[in-house]
Homo-oligomer: A and B are copies of this chain.
């Protein structure tokens, strides 16, 4: 969700203003979420007039998406070590950190909030939610290419299971465990990757 088109004539927009606005938006949102996220506050924190803000993004959602996609997009880049479990563990660890980070968590918030109405979903989903999914999908595709995966296993449910399990894991995590999860990410991620690996493996002999 880039900023709105500007007129070709006249003084050009100051790119520094855009940057400061996006940074301010993420900081404000990370504080306490929707509750205290105000356009006014973003402009104030950025040291910018309200007009400069509204000129670029008309709604809170547009502004947040602009800020959040820069954070989420890197998740689509995954490693390719030649070993499925290793790649999955690496990706899962990064997703776990993503959901444990305030700014990363914002991704989910916006996604959840925008799922309610048809208007907002599409632009955001294509950019953020899909970014996460596509990275893991690639891992499976590579593994299948290597023959590490029986071809009869559908990939999409596996991806949804892995991403979803990490999400629910964080979602149902008591607050004082979050620090532990940040430091011992591997221990938290391993059982979840295990589930996927079992499901992806060839089934027992009949």
Cα distance A108–B191 when bound, in Å?
24
- CB pair A157–B121 under 8 Å, yes or no, is no
- A100-130 contacts to B (CB < 8 Å): 102, 105, 108-109, 111-113, 115-118, 121-122, 125, 129-130
Counting every copy of the chain, the complex holds 4
- CB pair A129–B34 under 8 Å, yes or no, is no
Smallest beta-carbon distance A95→chain B, Å: 11
Q: How large is the interface on A (under 10, 10 to 19, 20 to 34, 35 or more residues)?
A: 35 or more
Cα distance A157–B92 when bound, in Å?
14
Cα distance A118–B121 when bound, in Å?
28
Answer yes or no: A182 CB below 8 A from chain B CBs.
no
Asked whether A175 and B122 contact (CB < 8 A) given A115-B170, A116-B33, A198-B198, the answer is yes
Interface pairs (23), CB distance under 8 Å: A34-B113, A102-B116, A105-B112, A105-B115, A105-B116, A108-B112, A112-B171, A118-B175, A125-B172, A154-B191, A157-B194, A158-B195, A160-B192, A161-B164, A164-B165, A165-B165, A167-B167, A195-B199, A198-B199, A198-B200, A198-B201, A204-B204, A204-B205
